[in-house]
Amino acid sequence: MSEELTERVLKTIAQAQRIPVEKVKIDSTFEELGIDSMDGVNILFALENEFDITIPDEAAKQIRSIREMVEGVEKLVNDGGNGSAAAPVAAL
């Protein structure tokens, strides 16, 4: 997992949620951070804009933690950002 990418994801989530970036840890769950489904949609849009990627809806529904989000974003970025590959977004 790239440290730079991880930091960008954490920062993007913190900004989208308007919480201090120090509160967003790689092992945090959405529940721990008070992130509900509407917040999740806003975070997905923010991440898509930040990384110029498309996060598939079905993959997004499976995400429950910051680590899963980082891993999914990293896989999409490495695959060119289109989310069309079947295997990479299973974790996202």
Range of the domain at 60: 3-90
Per-residue pLDDT tens digits for 11-37 = 999 999 999 999 999 999 999 999 998
Structural domain count, the chain: 1
Of 36, 39, 52, 79, which is the active-site residue? 36
Higher pLDDT, 34 or 87: 34
Q: What is the DSSP code string of 39-90?
A: HHHHHHHHHHHHHT----HHHHTT--BHHHHHHHHHHHHHTTS----TTGGG
pLDDT at 81: 67
Flag whether the pTM goes above 0.75: yes
Flag whether pLDDT at 67 surpasses 70. yes
CATH number for the domain spanning 77: value is 1.10.1200.10
36 assigned to active site: yes
